Amino acid sequence: MSEGRAQAEIKGPRLLLPDEGQAHGHRRRGGAAEKQGWRLLSEDIKRGRLFALVGLVFMLAAAVSFATSPEYIVQSVTVEGSEVLSLEQANEIAGVAGRNIFTIDPVEVRSRLADEAALLKGVTVETRLPNEVIIRVLERKPAVVWVIGDGTPMLASDDNVVVGHASTLDGFVTIFDRGPMTDTFTVGQPMPVHKADATETAQQIYMMLPAATGVGLRQLEWAPDNGVTAITAEGQRIEFGTGDEMERKIKIVQSVVQDSVRSGKTWSVLDVRSVDRPSIKR
């Protein structure tokens, strides 16, 4: 009896050795980890994460290529619509030559051009791949020379912006300032409002007076108290003041000139600043 029980006990479940148990555990955990890894990869693919990561890598590679490739380095600019801004000036002011096309801010370039070139009324800047910068400009038209008190001729545009120093008086309506000698203009800035009004008055006189009366003009003057005065080729002075009721003022001058021709009586000063009370000085 005792031998049978001893044999039965020996044939019972075999105990695992420590090394064998660890091996079985590693195999089970390894298999679970592999299944878990494939499951996560499968989920990433389904959700597009893997493709997004690949796309990001390609984008970074493309960015590096764009930033370093000499193909995208600007060599020069093209200027359209300008008669006064040369290519050399545009390149110098724009400051884009030698820069990567992707680093150029058109707003910044436009601002720099507008600040440096007073004759530019409007500026647009366009960048084109791989390395082209195009500047399109709308220029101001020089219209009037205003000779300030110290004798310096300043050029003003048709929209009353001071655009620079005048190199000649020929071809421009010219106004001689008889105001304070200390008055100055700033290039690139609008004229003071009262002087801008005076330039418009002077241009009206320049266009209307000779055609309506046959009187030749020598020059136009402006003074703070009298406004605009026209000086004829004969040295006569016609005080117009402002541009208000200019047509009526021109008609008064026309009548006086015609009467002077008929009567043979000359005059030296004609004041038409008030159309209701014109006065004449012989």
- Per residue of the chain (282 residues), give pLDDT as tens: 444 444 444 454 554 445 554 544 555 455 555 556 556 556 555 555 545 555 655 565 555 555 557 888 998 789 998 887 888 888 888 889 889 998 999 999 998 888 788 888 889 999 998 899 999 999 999 999 999 999 999 999 999 999 999 999 998 999 999 998 888 899 989 999 999 999 999 999 999 999 999 999 999 999 999 999 999 999 999 999 999 999 999 999 999 999 999 999 999 999 999 999 999 998
Which residue's entry shows tokens 């801008």?
A: 196
Task: Give the pLDDT confidence score for residue 3 in this predicted structure.
Answer: 47
Strands (E), the chain: 77-80, 120-128, 132-139, 142-147, 153-157, 162-165, 173-177, 217-223, 227-232, 237-241, 269-271, 279-281
The residues pairing with 239 across neighbouring beta strands, listed in sequence order, are 229, 271
Q: What pLDDT is stored for residue 254 in this prediction? A: 96
Does the CA dihedral 78-84-86-90 come out positive or negative? negative
**Tokens standing for residue 243:** 């541009």
How much is the pLDDT for 182? 84
CA neighbor of 173 nearest in space, from 192, 152, 193, 158: 158
Q: What pLDDT shows up at residue 259? A: 94
Largest CA distance in the chain: 172
Spell out the residues 6+ positions from residue 63 whose beta carbon is closer than 8 angstroms to its own: none
Residue 43, helix vs strand vs coil:
helix
> Which tokens is 249 given?
């003022």
The token duo for 18 is 């420590």
Report CA 146 to chain centroid distance, whole Å: 26
pLDDT score of 225: 92
- In the chain, DSSP finds a helix count (H) and a strand count (E) of 7, 12
Question: Given CA atoms 91, 96, 101, 107 in this order, what sign does their dihedral have?
Answer: negative
Rounded Cα distance between 270 and 65, Å, is: 77
**Which residue shows structure tokens 């040295």?**
235
- The reply to whether omega before 70 is within 30° of 0 (cis) is no
